């Protein structure tokens, strides 16, 4: 049998699932002693070029409380044309279409390689995708110009039958009517007044067509396009109109006096966007794309006043409870996010400004609806432009890499219950029999709504083993979990993707080794990190760190090999060996450390951390460092200050930043211009190599990372210095007595110190 590593990888590739434990402790008690919960990272729409969707509907278990979908794990009686549900053991008749079924003639869903399968639902009206641009006009001229160009460009990327709408805002909010000839019309709203969805629809005249509708009776399908037609139009129809409209878009004309921020009504604009879609296209795939160049400064959802002399809140202010508008604004955006989620729409936030833009308050809009959050310095940067372009990238089939209005349902076999999920989702509050009372993340349900998702969107799903210790699972028993994701494909089809997995149960007392070996420390690190970040949103930073530390210590106590009170004897098996290091870097990461980050940045980082897949998440936790030198091919090196050497070029990928760092000597060479001399062409190649590699990463990543090219002593070098393990600091530089590496001016503990402490605590019997 393959190693667990291979098994894990295989599973991930096939099902998009990675479990913290791949062999499950068979009782509740043992499970809790494992410290790291039984959980998985699920990428519901993982790209599977090899998986063509089947063009029929799934077969459901007939038990109303179960409704699990027929899968390869089910027992099938080919003669009786019966199948037994592997979750509730209900015996079900195959539907008439399956009469020809036999051992040799199996439908796809029964084949083991189709543990993940996608169905296309033919029923129901297909509604076009909707893109509603919400554009801030309080921008600098060139910023606005760049944004307009990006938007115009995006029109050509949209599916031609997609509906688009445009809302612009500054001091006022304008909803542009796109259908009109001649005069361009827009409905204007005051930016300071919160309106209910009903009011918004009234004012936009969306409720009025009730009359014409009665006249032209034939059914509601006609009503929808009619109602919406004025504000949301198929791209192919109003392409020119909208391009012109965007072209004529002016900066907000209201004067901004010296010492003031422009009045920006982001809160109302979003509210209107939400209300507009709510009234016209509930439960249809729609993206509200908010482009903002600064903080909301008036009306509901305002984050900062318009006086420039009062700076926008910092973590310091928040800690001291000094952020006047934060709570109210957050509440406003949360309310909007929840409404949007209910309607199945998602909100993207593209915030480009040098200062903060209020992402902290607005984050829930993207977080709860599965929207994107992009943060940049200006719309006139490639960071924004390419990121934005990448939203409309297409997959191998030519379909957009986006899906809408998904619901994820998790079914478990009896020994398991669902404790919660962490990711870009909201609870649907469905209390099934497999819902645990203990919540981890968003719990209390076994269904979640994910309004917007893409092939990399990944949720952490947490389970609880409920099997009692005294009622063991039969030998060789397997626990099964089925993930059912219904969503609107970008081709507007409704689809259902079903992933059914099973893992072996093991008795933790007798088979601890098995369990230990099947530990996926990477997944576990990410899942624990998600729990930590989830907690950090609501708890004080130090508490979260303490909790993480305790979990780590307990894990080491449980799985480490050591003699009591002898730190030097402490050992961890291979499957755990990296875990403490991940935790060390996690503790230093911006997800948990707010020092040096603005509240907006923290929100931004956390947003992405909660939705990226395992690999990306790991990069975020522990950035990758490559070293380039004349001594050999590029090699990954320790993320440690000792790796910073004068004759090396370093390439660091933190997910959010790509840093190329030239060592002191290299930098001097370059300054001397050796790369331009033909005889030093190899130096030129050396300089070029990391750039090429960086480009490769830049091409693939969403959102575009910040690209930093720096050198020894450069101010931007701080990005690197703040990430590496401070093994050499100004405190211990001479004590170590080494010449290599670069000292980091920090009081942070280094990994070595951290590990020493950990060992000490793990072996101590005190805790």
Partner 1 sequence: MTGETKWGCTHNERQPVSSTCAAIWAAPACLPRVSSIQLWWATRVHSPHHSLWSLQWPSTRLSANISPRFPGSQPFGSVPLTPVVSQPTVLQPYGPPPTSAQVTAQLAGMQISGAVAPALPPVGLGYGSPASLASASGSFPNPGLYGSYPQGQAPPLSQAQGHLGAQPPQRSAPPQASTFTSPASGGPRMPSMTGPFLPGQGFGGPSLSQPNHVSSPPPQALPPGTQMTGPPGPPPPMHSSQQPGYQLQQNGSFGPARGPQPNYGSPYPGAPTFGSQPGPPQPLPPKRLDPDAIPSPQLNELPPQQKTRHRIDPDAIPSPIQVIEDDRNNRGSEPFVTGVRGQVPPLVTTNFLVKDQGNASPRYIRCTSYNIPCTSDMAKQAQVPLAAVIKPLARLPPEEVSPYVVDHGESGPLRCNRCKAYMCPFMQFIEGGRRFQCCFCSCINDVPPQYFQHLDHTGKRVDAYDRPELSLGSYEFLATVDYCKNNKFPSPPAFIFMIDVSYNAIRSGLVRLLCEELKSLLDFLPREGGTEESAIRVGFVTYNKVLHFYNVKSSLAQPQMMVVSDVADMFVPLLDGFLVNVSESRAVITSLLDQIPEMFADTRETETVFAPVIQAGMEALKAAECAGKLFLFHTSLPIAEAPGKLKNRDDRKLINTDKEKTLFQPQTGAYQTLAKECVAQGCCVDLFLFPNQYVDVATLSVVPQLTGGSVYKYACFQVENDQERFLSDLRRDVQKVVGFDAVMRVRTSTGIRAVDFFGAFYMSNTTDVELAGLDGDKTVTVEFKHDDRLNEESGALLQCALLYTSCAGQRRLRIHNLALNCCTQLADLYRNCETDTLINYMAKFAYRGVLNSPVKTVRDTLITQCAQILACYRKNCASPSSAGQLILPECMKLLPVYLNCVLKSDVLQPGAEVTTDDRAYVRQLVTSMDVAETNVFFYPRLLPLTKSPIESATEPPAVRASEERLSNGDIYLLENGLNLFLWVGASVQQGVVQSLFNVSSFSQITSGLSVLPVLDNPLSKKVRGLIDSLRAQRSRYMKLIVVKQEDKLEMLFKHFLVEDKSLSGGASYVDFLCHMHKEIRQLLS
Who's near 560: CB < 8 A, 6+ residues apart? Answer: 570, 571, 572, 576, 762, 763
Q: How far apart are CA 401 and CA 453, in angstroms?
A: 8
Does residue number 480 form part of the binding site for partner 1 (CB under 8 A)? no
Q: Does position 246 bind partner 1 by CB under 8 A?
A: no
In the numeric block, which tokens belong to residue 280? 């016209």
Nearer of residues 193 and 706 to partner 1, judged by Cβ: 193
Closest distance of CB 203 from partner 1, Å? 3
- When binding is defined by CB under 8 A, the residue of 144, 172, 288, 594 that contacts partner 1 is 172
Part in contact with partner 1 (CB under 8 A); list of ranges 180-188, 574-582, 646-654, 752-760:
180-188
Considering only the stretches 26-34, 248-256, 647-655, 687-695, report the one whose residues sit in contact with partner 1 under the rule CB under 8 A.
248-256
Nearer to partner 1, 199 or 657 (CB): 199
**Based on CB atoms, which residue is closest to partner 1, 184 or 222?**
184
Terminal CA-CA length for the chain: 39
The one segment of 183-191, 483-491, 537-545, 583-591 that binds partner 1 by CB under 8 A? 183-191
Q: Note whether 190 binds partner 1 by CB under 8 A.
A: yes
- Of residues 266, 260, 257, 255, the one with CA closest to residue 325: 266
Alpha carbon distance 49, 641 (integer Å): 41
Does position 630 interact with partner 1 (CB under 8 A)? The reply is no
Q: Which is nearer to partner 1, 139 or 351 (CB)?
A: 139
Asked if 542 interacts with partner 1 (CB under 8 A), we say: no
The region of 179-187, 257-265, 567-575, 749-757 touching partner 1 under the rule CB under 8 A is 179-187
Determine contact, residues 624/595, Cβ cutoff 8 Å: no
User: Quick one: which of 248, 321, 679, 739 contacts partner 1 (CB under 8 A)?
Assistant: 248
Q: How far is the CB of 250 from partner 1 (least distance, A)?
A: 8
Contacts for 364 with CB less than 8 Å, ≥ 6 apart: 330, 333, 334, 337
- Find the binder of partner 1 among 193, 224, 260, 331 (CB under 8 A): 193
Site for partner 1 in 587-606 (CB under 8 A): none
Is the CB of 140 or the CB of 377 nearer to partner 1? 140
Q: Which of 188, 210, 430, 745 binds partner 1 (CB under 8 A)?
A: 188
Question: Rule CB under 8 A: is residue 187 a binding residue for partner 1?
Answer: yes
Task: Give CA–CA dist 297/600, Å, rounded.
Answer: 16
Residue 276 vs 480, nearer CB to partner 1: 276
Q: Which stretch binds partner 1 (CB under 8 A): 73-81, 181-189, 587-595, 612-620?
A: 181-189
Strand partners, 174: 168, 188
Tell me if 203 contacts partner 1 by CB under 8 A. Answer: yes
- Return the residues of window 250-309 that contact partner 1 according to CB under 8 A: 250, 253-255
Element (DSSP H or E) covering residue 420: strand 416-422
The β-bridge partners of 725 are: 640
Site size for partner 1, by CB under 8 A? Answer: 23
Give the whole-angstrom CA distance, residue 762 versus residue 758: 6
Window contacting partner 1 (CB under 8 A); options: 202-210, 422-430, 496-504, 742-750: 202-210
Quote the CA–CA distance of 200 and 188 in Å, as a whole number.
11
Told to check if 189 binds partner 1 by CB under 8 A, we report yes
Pairing mode of beta strands 172-177, 163-169: antiparallel
Q: Is 79 exposed, middle or buried, given 0-12, 13-18 or 19+ CB atoms closer than 10 A?
A: exposed
103-to-77, 79, 89, 110 alpha-carbon distances in Å: 9, 9, 21, 10
Say which residues have a Cβ less than 8 Å from residue 249's Cβ, sequence separation at least 6: 135, 137, 144, 148, 168
**Stretch of 169-177, 500-508, 515-523, 580-588 contacting partner 1, by CB under 8 A:** 169-177
Q: Is 169 in the site for partner 1 (CB under 8 A)?
A: no
Q: Which stretch binds partner 1 (CB under 8 A): 177-185, 459-467, 496-504, 661-669?
A: 177-185
Interatomic CA distance for residues 515 and 531, integer angstroms: 22
Nearer to partner 1, 191 or 301 (CB): 191
Contacts 24+ apart (CB under 8 A), 433-436: 433/65, 434/410, 436/463, 436/464, 436/466
Per CB under 8 A, does 459 bind partner 1? no
Smallest separation (angstroms) from partner 1 to the CB of 278? 17
Q: Which of 47, 57, 140, 202 binds partner 1 (CB under 8 A)?
A: 202
Q: Which two tokens stand for residue 753?
A: 């110190």
Report in angstroms how near the CB of residue 207 gets to partner 1 at its nearest.
11
What letters, b where the CB count within 10 A reaches 16 and e where it falls short, cover 134-155?
bbbbbbeeebbbbbbebbbebb
Q: What 3-state class would DSSP assign to 681?
A: helix
Query: Residue 42 or residue 242: which is nearer to partner 1 going by CB?
Result: 242
Q: Give min distance, CB of 237 to partner 1, in A.
A: 18
Q: Is 75 in the site for partner 1 (CB under 8 A)?
A: no
Distance CA 436, CA 401 (A): 33
Site residues (vs partner 1, CB under 8 A):
172, 174, 177, 182-190, 193, 195, 202-205, 248, 250, 253-255
């Amino acid at each position: 049998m393959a190693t667990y590593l291979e098994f894990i990888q295989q599973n991930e590739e096939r099902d998009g699932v990675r479990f913290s434990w791949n062999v499950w402790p068979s009782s509740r008690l043992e499970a809790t002693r494992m410290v790291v919960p039984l959980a998985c990272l699920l990428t519901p729409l993982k790209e599977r070029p090899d998986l063509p969707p089947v063009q029929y509907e799934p077969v459901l278990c007939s038990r109303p409380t179960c409704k699990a979908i027929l899968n390869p794990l089910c027992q099938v009686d080919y003669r009786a044309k019966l199948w037994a549900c592997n979750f509730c053991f209900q015996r079900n008749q195959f539907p008439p279409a399956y009469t020809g079924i036999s051992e040799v003639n199996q439908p796809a869903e029964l084949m083991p390689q189709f543990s993940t399968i996608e169905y296309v639902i033919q029923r129901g009206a297909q509604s076009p995708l909707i893109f509603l641009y919400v554009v801030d006009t309080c921008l600098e001229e060139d910023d606005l110009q760049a944004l307009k160009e990006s938007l115009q460009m995006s029109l050509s990327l949209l599916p031609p039958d997609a509906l688009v709408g445009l809302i612009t805002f500054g001091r006022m909010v304008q909803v542009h009517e796109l259908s009109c000839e001649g005069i361009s019309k827009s409905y204007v709203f005051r930016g300071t007044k919160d309106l209910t969805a009903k009011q918004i629809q009234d004012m936009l005249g969306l409720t009025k067509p009730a009359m014409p509708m009665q006249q032209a009776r034939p059914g509601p399908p006609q009503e929808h396009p009619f109602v919406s037609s004025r504000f949301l139009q198929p791209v192919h129809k109003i392409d020119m109109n909208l391009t012109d409209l965007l072209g004529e878009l002016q900066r907000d004309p209201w004067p901004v006096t010296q010492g003031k921020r422009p009045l920006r009504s982001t809160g109302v604009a979003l509210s209107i966007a939400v209300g507009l879609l709510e009234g016209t296209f509930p439960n249809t795939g729609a993206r509200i794309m908010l482009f903002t160049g600064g903080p909301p400064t008036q009306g509901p959802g305002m984050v900062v006043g318009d006086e420039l002399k009062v700076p926008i809140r910092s973590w310091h202010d928040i800690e001291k409870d000094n952020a006047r508008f934060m709570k109210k604004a957050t509440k406003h955006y949360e309310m909007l996010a929840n409404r949007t989620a209910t309607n199945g729409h998602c909100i993207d936030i593209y915030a480009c400004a040098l200062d903060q833009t209020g992402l902290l308050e607005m984050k829930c809009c993207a977080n709860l609806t599965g929207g994107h959050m992009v943060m940049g310095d200006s719309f006139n940067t490639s960071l924004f432009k390419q990121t934005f372009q990448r939203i409309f990238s297409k997959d191998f089939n030519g379909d957009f890499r986006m899906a809408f209005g998904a619901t994820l349902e998790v079914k478990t076999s009896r020994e398991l219950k669902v404790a919660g999920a962490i990711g870009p989702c909201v609870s649907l509050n469905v209390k099934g029999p497999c819902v645990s009372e203990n919540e981890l993340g968003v719990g209390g349900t076994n269904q979640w709504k994910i309004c917007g998702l893409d092939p990399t969107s990944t949720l952490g799903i947490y389970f609880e083993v409920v099997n009692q210790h005294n009622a063991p699972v039969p030998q060789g028993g397997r626990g099964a979990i089925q993930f059912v994701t219904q969503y609107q494909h970008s081709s507007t089809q409704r689809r259902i993707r079903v992933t059914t997995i099973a893992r072996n149960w093991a008795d933790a007392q007798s088979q601890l080794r098995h369990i230990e070996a099947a530990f996926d420390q990477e997944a576990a690190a990410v899942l624990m990190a998600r729990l930590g970040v989830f907690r950090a949103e609501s708890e004080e930073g130090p508490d979260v760190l303490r909790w993480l530390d305790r979990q780590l210590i307990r894990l080491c106590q449980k799985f480490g090999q050591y003699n009591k009170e002898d730190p030097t004897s402490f050992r961890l098996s291979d499957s755990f060996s990296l875990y403490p290091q991940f935790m060390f870097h996690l503790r230093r990461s911006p997800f948990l450390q707010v020092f040096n980050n603005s509240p907006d940045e923290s929100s931004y980082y956390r947003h992405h951390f909660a939705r990226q897949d395992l690999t990306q998440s790991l990069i975020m936790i522990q950035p990758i460092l490559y070293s380039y030198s004349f001594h050999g091919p590029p090699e990954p090196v320790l993320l440690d200050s000792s790796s910073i050497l004068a004759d090396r070029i370093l390439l660091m990928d933190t997910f959010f930043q790509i840093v190329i760092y030239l060592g002191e000597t290299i930098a001097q060479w370059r300054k001397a211009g050796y790369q331009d001399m033909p005889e030093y062409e190899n130096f030129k190649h050396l300089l070029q190599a990391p750039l090429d590699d960086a480009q490769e990463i830049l091409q693939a990543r969403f959102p575009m990372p910040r690209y930093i090219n720096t050198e020894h002593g450069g101010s931007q070098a701080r990005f690197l210095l703040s990430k590496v393990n401070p093994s050499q600091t100004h405190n211990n530089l001479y004590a170590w007595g080494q010449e290599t590496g670069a000292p980091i001016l920090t009081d942070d503990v280094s990994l070595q110190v951290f590990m020493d402490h950990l060992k000490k605590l793990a072996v101590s019997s005190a805790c």
